[in-house]
Amino acid sequence: MKHRILWGILGLGLGFASMAQAELLNISSNALQSQNTETSGCTIVGSGGKSYRGIKVLIVMAEGNSADSDPVLTVKTLNTQSPTVIVNDNWRESSTENGVSRSASDFSSFLRSPGKPTDAGFAVFVSPGVALCAFSREKSGGDTLRSVSISITDVTDRIQGAALYEIESKYQSEVSGSESGLIAGLVR
């Protein structure tokens, strides 16, 4: 009798879970890294939830969990015809996208800021279905392992159209649903 009740409760739970419609909004991982050993976090951008003109706005961060940690963050698209690479050392400073300098991202009004000035982070625009990975390694220190957290967070529902228009105008780039690249920019 106890087993029937247990199996019934388990069946109900699985039934309700299969009907749930949820969009993944954040991926994060904690790991050890060094200058010679990188850590990573990857995702395929979902199509559910809000979008702006067919794109998603993501905040990507690498935050050192020890006082002497200084992560360098690299984000790469994996399944696009024109792969994009964005690199950032300190979140308050500019990033490079495919070798071109981009302004620092101020995303504090959409998500908390990284914990330290030496942490890395920026905002990116990406089309649903694009696979991307965030890689982090220490700026210096050789093989000394340090703890780091990598996070990729969808903040599209928190962004106002005016802020995105400002970014598009700044870079004179039309962001459309067919674009598969990333655009790092200033978000207010």
Predicted confidence band at 33 (pLDDT cuts at 50, 70, 90)? very high
Q: How much is the pLDDT for 165?
A: 52
pLDDT digits (tens, 9 = 90+) for 19-32: 444 556 788 888 99
Q: Does the pLDDT at position 168 exceed 60? A: no
Q: Give the C-alpha separation, 103 to 49, whole Å.
A: 28
Q: Could you count the other beta carbons within 10 Å of the beta carbon of residue 24?
A: 13
Q: 30-39, 66-75, 77-86, 132-141: which range is least confident on average?
A: 77-86
pLDDT at residue 19, rounded to an integer: 43
Query: How large a percentage of the chain has pLDDT more than 70?
Result: 69
Length of the chain: 188
pLDDT in tens, 103-162: 876 676 677 788 899 999 988 888 899 999 999 999 999 999 999 999 999 888 877 554
What would you report as the CA-atom Rg of the chain, rounded to the nearest whole angstrom?
A: 19
- Domain range summary for the chain, segments of one domain joined by +: 23-171
- Give residue-wise pLDDT tens across range 94-104: 888 888 888 87
Strands 39-44 and 131-138: antiparallel
Q: Confirm or reject CATH 2.60.120.510 for domain 23-171, answering yes or no.
A: yes
**pLDDT, the chain, mean:** 76
Residue % of the chain over a pLDDT of 90? 30
Q: pTM of the full predicted structure?
A: 0.74
Res. 88 pLDDT band, cuts 50 70 90:
very high
Round to whole Å and give the CA distance between 134 and 76.
7
In sequence order, what are the residues at sequence separation of 6 or more whose Cβ sits closer than 8 angstroms to the Cβ of residue 108?
none
